[in-house]
Structure 1
Amino acid sequence: MPELRRRTLLSAIGVTATAGAVVTSQSSTASALSGGRGASYEGKVRDLLSRMTLEEKLGQLQQLPWSWDLNPGSGSTKEVEDAARAGRLGSVLSIFGAKTTNALQRLAVEESRLGIPLLFGLDVIHGFWTNFPIPLAQAASFDPEVTRTDAAVSAKEARSNGVHWTFSPMMDVTHEPRWGRIAEGSGEDPYLTARFAAAKVKGYQGSGYGAKETLAACAKHFVAYGGAEGGRDYNTVDVSESRLRNLYLPPFKAALDAGVATVMASFNTISGVPAHGNAHTLTDVLKKEWDFDGFVVSDWTGVQELIAHGFAEDGADAARLALNAGVDMEMTSTNLLTNGKQLLRSGTITQRRIDDAVTRVLRLKYALGLFDDPYVDESAAITEPSPDARRAARAAGSRSMVLLKNDGDVLPLKKSVNSLALVGPFADSADLLGTWVVPASAERFPAVKVLDAVREAAPDAKVTYARGVDPEGKDTGGIAEAVAVAKAADVTVVVVGEPAAMSGEASARSDISLPGDQEKLIAAVAGTGKPFVVVLVGGRPLTIGDWLDSAPAVLLAWHPGTEAGHALADVLFGEVNPGGKLPVSFPRTVGQIPIHYNHESTGRPFDANNKFTSKYLDLPPTPQFPFGFGLSYTTFELGTPTASRGSVRARALRSGDTVEVSVPVRNTGSRKGDEVVQLYVHDVAASITQPVRRLRGFERVTLDAGASTTVSFRLGADDLGFWTNDPSGRFLLEEGTFELFVGTASTAGARLTLKVT
């Protein structure tokens, strides 16, 4: 592959990026904590294990919350402190602060019998003090370096505040935009999600834990959580083995190959069996087939919820089922700690399985260096975003934005504009951080507002503002003022979208259009006849109504994080040329859901001239905007793609041979910009029906006006084969014809044919 010019975000914060290919084949993985990290703690673990009582062992498998207002049943501070002193606690979640963590750690290390340190975990999802764009937005960058940078900055900030472990990255592939947690993942494609999952693991964990600037990562939620019926959180998932392995599992395998320390079980059932009690996924696949030697943590009360699922009769039964299925640590609920001795006595769980789970937990504590130095330097705690971290977040924010429409080149705005109006409920709002933000960071370091950033970027312009409407309300009384300021300005920027609380966990929506009367505000501004731009903020794909036709330009900003306003101003005024692409399809209405590019064909695919084909009577069969779509302030032209050969033997591919696909790219416009070249594969005929297209390569390139380069991809067995319905895991590479599509979106038209013989 040619050397391409790319902005390296990590260099801004002094972190070294380690290159590495993502392996998506589901074969044996390297050890996460011993062999894979180059150091083994097995002797120390065995020695400590031999000195532990049963109560102390069960305690290592217990995680309790310090305090967390978002969930019912949180444990009290006294409960946690007493358990730490007694040596009957392995981990504490939702705790941070150097002074606080050191104080609690001293109880465990200096007052318990064996002095085993506690493991402190926190949901550091897309930032600690410095919030980066939400993960779905980061995926829109089509640049894994963005998510690696987020993780590295977050790890440095959080570790200095006593946090050892983050419950991230989330890698739940989903075709369901109504599901609120789509904001936490990377969208609808397993390959894109796998690339970002691996990058984030490497960003969190670095090359090891010795420097105390890293966090242990947690791959969640295992598995198929993104398939929740109706987009309702925690809901049922009915999935075949082939879909499980081809759609939902590849990102987890990529995370394991990147060395992820832990895995979290998911809330959903998987074809009738709850994930917390699913031995097939947790043990057969994860621990045996993939040889994972890290540990599995439950989700919040996930073990207890086996009772509500109708899978366990009571707490003791739930503990038995979860431990035997492969859960190693119980979060919040205490079924294993309470019932473990009785279950062992009755023979329904074994000492060997308990010791295995404890070994996995202790292994991570040794790898983190907690036995050597369990405390953090309180004087060195990072207490605010650094200038370098802010610069990195700003760059990530602008790099993640997607230009959806730009008729008449309304964008970029000229800084020399005489007058500019900002209207809409998010124009002067700090509600731009997105879901899953550490509450203290939101309070202390709110997002930069768009209005403030625009005034800073265009100091000579007259900038006026009117809210117009509330984010969710039906009061249209403010629209008249918004229309007045729009009429008086040369151009108007309308900032509309979803509040952060409308996405994330437990935030499913049945209607994913703009909330409240925001569409009426857009229509009123359009009625002025003056130029205007619509900026969309939010945490999911939205259904864009009739207003799309009247809006000259639409920029998707997502929830951009701490530097939201500055990042958006950079794009609006052309300091940054937008180059993001959609990591998820945008439906026309909720009635189209699920609609995604990587669907399987039917026996009657859509044909506009035939009524009896797969379609709706009242809608086009296509999404409003397809996966991989995104515009630029400049234009690009792709030449004719070529392949290094037209046919290849299946035997050679299985032995590691590859086919190279290359395409020339030229910037045909008048300004520097980014393009994302994408490669899709279609197996024309297979023993199991395949998606009409599968993303198998992408590269974001930066080119000056008139400049060109060649982008190359290599295809191997992993890219052309698929997993069957065999529960034991069988990967097939079949002979036949493959279509290869190269372009700048999932609708790419340039096609090559490859024969596998």
Structure 2
Amino acid sequence: MTGRVDIEALIDRMTLEEKIGQLSILADSIRPFAFDVNPDSFQWGPDRTREMIRAGQVGALFNGVGAKEGRELQRIAVEQSRLGIPILLGADVIHGMRTVFPIPLGEAASFEPELAERTARAAAVEATREGLHWTFAPVVDIARDQRWGRVAETTGEDTVLACAFARARVRGFQGPDLTADDSLLATPKHFAAYGAVSAGLDYNTVDLSPQTLFDVHLPPFKAAIEAGALTVMSSFNDINGVPATANRELLTGVLREQWGFEGFVVSDYTSDFELIAHGYAADEKHAAELSIGAGLDMSMQSGVFMDHLAALVGEGKVSVQAIDTAVRRILTVKARMGLFDNPYRSLNEAPPGPAPYLAAHDELAREAARRSVVMLKNDGDVLPLRKAGQRIALIGPFARDRANLAGCWNIFGDPSREVDLETGLRAALADGDALEVVEGCDFESAIDGGIDAAVAAARGADAVLLALGEPSVFSGEAQSRTQIVLPAAQQALAEAVLAAGSPVIVLLRCGRALALGPLQRAQAVLVTWFLGSQTGHAVADLVFGEHSPGGRLPVSFPHDSGQQPYYYNHPATGRPYVPGGLEAFRTRWRETDHTALYPFGHGLTYGRIEYGAATLDAPALAWDGELRARVRITNVGERAAEEVLQLYVRDRVASRVRPVRELKRFAKIALAPGESREVEFALSRADLEFRGVDNRAVAEPGLFDLWLAPSATAGEAVQFELLAAQG
């Protein structure tokens, strides 16, 4: 029994057609739909969709919104179908619903999982108010290649950071009670290793060792499931030659048998059908057989389960027990969500007038945006600017732009509530007329006279805010790039403005790490990602010093595009590059160092943080013991600041080559001017485990380096020893 429904008795009453119906999710052709996402979605029209619900032939719909219409759909399922099984209504609510929060990569730069939990909770409140039960988020892929367009949807290149945000976002979406009206079922995706596509090319092949799969790419999924996620989405890619959607080792072996996952797996959009193009399935029927045999429970949009499972059962190629197992998983999740007890949950039409949470969510969006910004440099303390007594030129195609505030995978945002840069900056100035705005160029093309106007504005200003970067269409699904640089028109504008002589502060909008090129010559650079609804106000808060930048890089910014894939925790080589040391015959490129221009974890504030020496409470970590590492940090600056303290380790000698550093702990610490804090972290043997040559988790006694530092390349190491087990 689950709630008030007897799942086994219900399965016994179901026809094979009704069982197969539960295994399909179709595009919502009835409610207002996000047409820009998958415009070829409607092979089933509204009337046919209603008929299918009434006949029990579909178990879920996706990407339509509207509580009133959703209630009518549920009424058909519950009151007009033979068994009254409720349908599940899902959508891509990735980084906000009507209120748009920073892209996940930007939010990860906050290094504050609790912030992500709050924004996910707000998104859940808004989404469930509009008739949704389920979101296809969070994205928990690890992104080590900045050419990949979907870096924007991830938390970046580090596994420990990704695990923390995965847990937080699942908790935020689902809340403490899955049956509550405002609980939004979470779906960690894309299972698995989608972020490791070759050459950063979306949908491409993934070829990686089992050890890297288990050490790097799988832990965030496990963390999300441990936090309560009950659905997982399979990925488009193959892994070592086996497409993820038909990968029994992953969908059954890892998920169910190793991790004890109790929920269901849904395919990504038609990824089961795509087994044919992979050359893994002969036709649709074969694709259906392979997918359900591997452990896929729900087919999204392709129709291969609907069209072929009955015949496969009749031919003995798919067992009724396999169908029942998938149905049981889906019905159990619906029951745990309370849909059998209260099928109309989250489908109550909102009363007229503004939603009561708008002001609070706007303030949260402003806070989240502010906390996501990373200050890469601030030469001569050119920032913060003054609100009065300075002439400021705002130059660049993003100065007045509103179309690119939210970034990719924003399909339900309310553009009427979005605040652009000009609006936010003018509102903060004592005299709005002190701001001159010139676009200078378009996103990818020149404007007649644009550069001349920009240079004139720059020469007449005491400071220039140069708003450049990627338009939102450069990031997201199917938006891989070979050159992660500014478009040529923007580079030309940057060169001209930098030569004008006034101090230049770059406001860099992007969905990935970029090679900065000429922007590195600016006095200051703020990475503003795609910050969402409150972009203009949040940037103004930082530019004028109402708040100090507190973000840190979740991805390494390279010197050059050709360094990709580049990530801080790369394995050690036999000929390591040492800056300032011997150059010949080292691990380097001819054109640039084997380093990041700005490393993972880097970010500045308006305060100035000094680190004391790291200390350990013992020279060794006992096999079943705990080691405590401490450091004192002091804000010696004149402004309040937040420091992201990061603990890294390196295994000095191991049975497999280990990374040069690995993040194990982090904490964000607020410090008033002159304030000092001693910060302590505890480590255990589990923090030192990795997958050995036999792909089993192992920790090996020996020496380790440990850093307590502000980035992945900073600090002085202390050393400790992991002792062998006694007896």
Pick one of 649, 652, 660 that aligns with 1:692: 660
Distance 1:641 1:381 in 2: 58
Determine whether 1:124 maps to 2:93: yes
Q: In 2 relative to 1, CA 493–438 (structure 1 residues): closer, same or farther, beyond 3 Å? A: closer
Kindly indicate whether residue 683 of structure 2 is the aligned counterpart of residue 722 of structure 1.
Answer: no
Partner of 1:576: 547
2:8 match: 46
Aligned partner of 1:659 in structure 2 is 627
- Is the 8 Å Cα contact of residues 476 and 517 (structure 1) preserved in structure 2? no
Q: Which residue of 2 aligns with 1:7?
A: none
Correspondence 1:619 to 2:592: yes
The residue aligned with 2:51 is 82
Aligned partners of 2:360 and 2:406: how far apart in 1? 21
Provide the C-alpha distance between the structure 2 equivalents of 1:210 and 1:72, rounded to a whole number of angstroms.
33
Quote how far apart the aligned CAs of 1:117 are.
0.8
- Which residue identity is paired with 1:733? A
Letter of the 2:515 partner, please give it: T
What is the match of residue 406 of structure 2?
434
Deviation by residue 1:232-256 (Cα, 9 ceiling, x = unmatched):
1000000111000001011111111
User: Please, which moves more after superposition, 118-127 or 425-434?
Assistant: 425-434
The offset of 1:433, in angstroms, is 3.2
1:320 partner amino acid: E
Contact map agreement 2:2 2:335 (CA 8 A) in 1: no
Q: Does 1:486 align with 2:495?
A: no
| Contact residue 161 and residue 381 of structure 1 kept, 8 A | no
2:520 to 539, 542, 548: 548
What whole-Å deviation, never above 9, does each CA across 1:85-133 have from its counterpart, x for those lacking one?
1111110001111112112112211111111111000000000011000
> Contact 2:97–2:412 at 8 Å: present in 1 too?
no
- On the 8 A contact 1:470/1:516 being kept in 2, the answer is no
Aligned match of 1:668: 636
The counterpart of 1:642, out of the listed 607, 615, 639, is 615
Whether contact under 8 Å (1:627, 1:746) holds in the other structure is: yes
Question: 1:577 touches 1:632 (CA, 8 Å); kept in 2?
Answer: yes
Q: How far apart are residue 718 of structure 1 and its match?
A: 2.3
Q: Are 1:508 and 2:480 matched, yes or no?
A: yes
**Contact 1:125–1:436 (CA<8 Å) still a contact in 2?**
no
- Work out whether residues 91 and 136 of structure 2, in 8 Å CA contact, stay in contact via their aligned partners in 1: yes
2:425 paired residue number: 454
Look up the match of 1:756: 722
2:197–2:237 CA contact under 8 A, matched in 1: yes
Q: 1:671 and 1:117 mapped to 2: Cα distance? A: 56
CA drift of 1:203 comes to: 0.4
Corresponding residue for residue 566 of structure 2: 595
Letter in 2 for 1:45: I
Q: How does 1:362-401 map to 2 (within 5 A)?
A: 362-375=331-344, 376-380=347-351, 386-401=358-373
| TM-score normalised to structure 1 length | 0.92
Q: CA deviation at 1:546?
A: 3.0
CA contact (8 A) 2:106 2:529 kept: yes
1:417–1:490 CA contact under 8 A, matched in 2:
no
1:525 pairs with 2:497: yes
Measure the CA separation in 2 of the matches of 1:725 and 1:334. 41
SS of alignment partner, residue 586 of structure 2: coil
> 1:435 is aligned with what amino acid?
G
Whether the aligned pair in 1 keeps the contact of 2:95 and 2:410 (CA below 8 Å) is: no
Given the alignment of the two structures, is residue 291 of structure 1 paired with residue 264 of structure 2, yes or no? no
Amino acid at match of 2:633: V
- Distance, in Å, in 2 between the alignment partners of 1:71 and 1:374 is 28
CA distance in 2, matches of 1:368, 1:117: 11
Of 437, 440, 444, the match for 1:465: 437
Would you identify which runs of 4 or more consecutive aligned residues in structure 1 move more than 4 Å?
39-43, 380-385
How much does 1:398 deviate? Answer: 0.5
Deviation at 1:71, TM superposition (A): 2.1
Counterparts of 1:383 and 1:63 in 2: how far apart (Å)?
32
Paired residue type of 1:542: L
CA separation of 1:433 and 1:718: change in aligned 2, threshold 3 A: farther
Would you say 1:415 and 2:387 are equivalent positions?
Answer: yes
Q: Map 1:216-231; keep pairs closer than 5 Å.
A: 216-231=185-200
The structure 1 residue matched to 2:116, chosen from 147, 156, 159, is: 147
Indicate which of 109, 122, 125 corresponds to 1:156.
125
1:737 to 703, 706, 710: 703
Equivalences for residues 231-270 of structure 1 within 5 A: 231-270=200-239
Equivalent residue of 1:630, what SS?
coil
Distance in 1, matches of 2:20 and 2:692, equals 39
Contact 1:680–1:742 (8 Å) recurs in 2: yes
- Work out whether residues 3 and 338 of structure 2, in 8 Å CA contact, stay in contact via their aligned partners in 1: no
Q: Quote the offset at 1:557 in angstroms.
A: 0.6
The match for 2:153 is 184
Aligned match of 2:678: 710
Q: CA deviation at 1:383?
A: 6.2
Question: More displaced, 602-611 or 123-132?
Answer: 602-611
| Alpha-carbon shift at residue 444 of structure 1 (Å) | 4.3
Shift of 1:689: 1.1
1:57 maps onto 2:19 in alignment = yes
Q: Percent identity?
A: 44
- Please provide the CA RMSD for this pair: 1.6
Report the Cα distance in structure 2 between the residues aligned to 1:618 and 1:437, rounded to whole angstroms: 36
Q: Distance in 2 between matches of 1:170 and 1:42?
A: 33
SS of residue paired to 1:737:
strand
1:425 aligns with 2:397: yes
Alignment of 1:295-314 (within 5 A): 295-314=264-283
| Paired AA for residue 586 in structure 2 | T
SS at match of 1:263: strand
Q: Does 1:746 align with 2:712?
A: yes
2:40 is equivalent to residue 73 of structure 1: yes
Query: How many Å separate the matches in 2 of 1:381 and 1:718?
Result: 53
Whether 2:179 is the aligned partner of 1:201: answer no
Identify which range, 415-424 or 733-742, moves more after superposition: 415-424
For 1:566, which of 511, 518, 537 is the aligned residue?
537
SS, match of residue 485 in structure 1: helix
Q: 1:40 to 1:115 in 2, by over 3 A?
A: closer
Distance 1:404 1:491 in 2: 18
Measure how far apart 1:209 and its partner are: 2.0
Q: Deviations 1:694-730 (Å, cap 9, x if unpaired)?
A: 100000111100011111111122210112354xx62
Higher mean C-alpha deviation, range 72-81 or range 463-472: 72-81
Letter in 2 for 1:372: D
Structure 2: which amino acid aligns with 1:508?
S
Which deviates more, 56-65 or 490-499? 490-499
**Which residue number corresponds to residue 12 of structure 1?**
none
Tell which deviates more after alignment, 369-378 or 703-712: 369-378
Q: Shift in Å at residue 518 of structure 1?
A: 1.0
CA distance in structure 1 between the aligned counterparts of 2:392 and 2:34, rounded to whole angstroms: 43
- Structure 2 gap segments, 5+ residues each: none
- What's the CA shift string for 1:428-485, capped at 9, x where partnerless? 111343334443424444x201101111000325211111000111346311111122
Q: Secondary structure at the match of 2:203?
A: coil
Counterpart residue identity of residue 47, structure 1 = A
* CA distance 1:610–1:426, change in 2 (3 Å): closer
Q: 1:742 to 1:382 in 2, by over 3 A?
A: farther
Q: Is the 8 A contact 2:409 2:476 kept in 1?
A: no
Q: Is the 8 A contact 1:160 1:380 kept in 2?
A: no
